[in-house]
């Protein structure tokens, strides 16, 4: 009997490739999400540090121009923080979308793998039946000769 051949093997190979690629894209999206979170934390820390410094100097009597500089810097940090939060929401959405895509690719690959397994089981069963048939024919031939 011919060796087992799965006609959709190239498609299965492509599905494996697409699953790996989706996994890599998900990893990149998660890294971007973590980086955005670190950036937000750095902005929060910088804002707290600057606010403390401003309060400390305010207690000691700070000139108005210096206060205005602090105030504009804190306003800029606040706007950067809002922008980073918006980026974080987008990164979170991107991670969820790529997780769904990875799941979909995984399901597609598993379907083809299951089909391949079923086809191989059918092939193995046919092969066993053919082998048994050949063995039975040999027994009949031997008995017919009187051996």
The per-residue pLDDT for range 40-83, each reduced to its tens digit, is 999 999 999 999 998 888 888 888 888 899 899 999 999 999 99
Query: Is residue 95 within 8 Å of 33, Cβ to Cβ?
Result: yes
Give me the pLDDT at residue 93, please: 97
Give me the pLDDT at residue 147, please: 55
Give me the pLDDT at residue 58, please: 84
Structure-derived torsion over alpha carbons of residues 96, 101, 102, 106, reported in degrees to the nearest 10? 140
Query: Is residue 77 within 8 Å of 50, Cβ to Cβ?
Result: yes
Residue 43 tokens, joined: 């902005």
Element (H, E) at 5: none
Q: How far apart are CA 88 and CA 107, in angstroms?
A: 29
Give me the pLDDT at residue 121, please: 96
Give me the pLDDT at residue 146, please: 62
> What are the average pLDDT values for consecutive 10-residue runs of the chain, which has 147 residues?
90 96 97 97 95 88 88 94 96 97 97 96 95 90 73
Task: State the angle between helix axes of 9-59 and 64-145 in degrees (0 to 180), rounded to the nearest 10.
Answer: 160
Domains of the chain: 9-145 (1.10.287.1700)
């Amino acid at each position: 009997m011919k060796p087992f051949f799965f006609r959709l093997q190239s498609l299965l190979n492509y599905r494996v490739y697409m699953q790996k690629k989706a996994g890599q894209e998900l990893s990149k999206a998660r890294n971007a999400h973590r980086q955005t979170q670190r950036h937000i934390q750095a902005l929060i820390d910088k804002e707290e540090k600057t606010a403390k410094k401003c309060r400390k100097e305010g207690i000691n009597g700070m000139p108005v121009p210096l206060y205005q500089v602090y105030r504009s810097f804190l306003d800029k940090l606040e706007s950067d923080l809002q922008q980073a939060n918006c980026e974080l929401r987008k990164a979170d959405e991107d991670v969820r979308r790529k997780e769904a895509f990875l799941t979909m690719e995984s399901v597609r690959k598993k379907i083809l793998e299951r089909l391949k397994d079923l086809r191989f089981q059918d092939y193995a069963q046919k092969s066993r039946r053919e082998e048994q048939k050949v063995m039975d024919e040999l027994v009949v031939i031997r008995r017919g000769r009187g051996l």
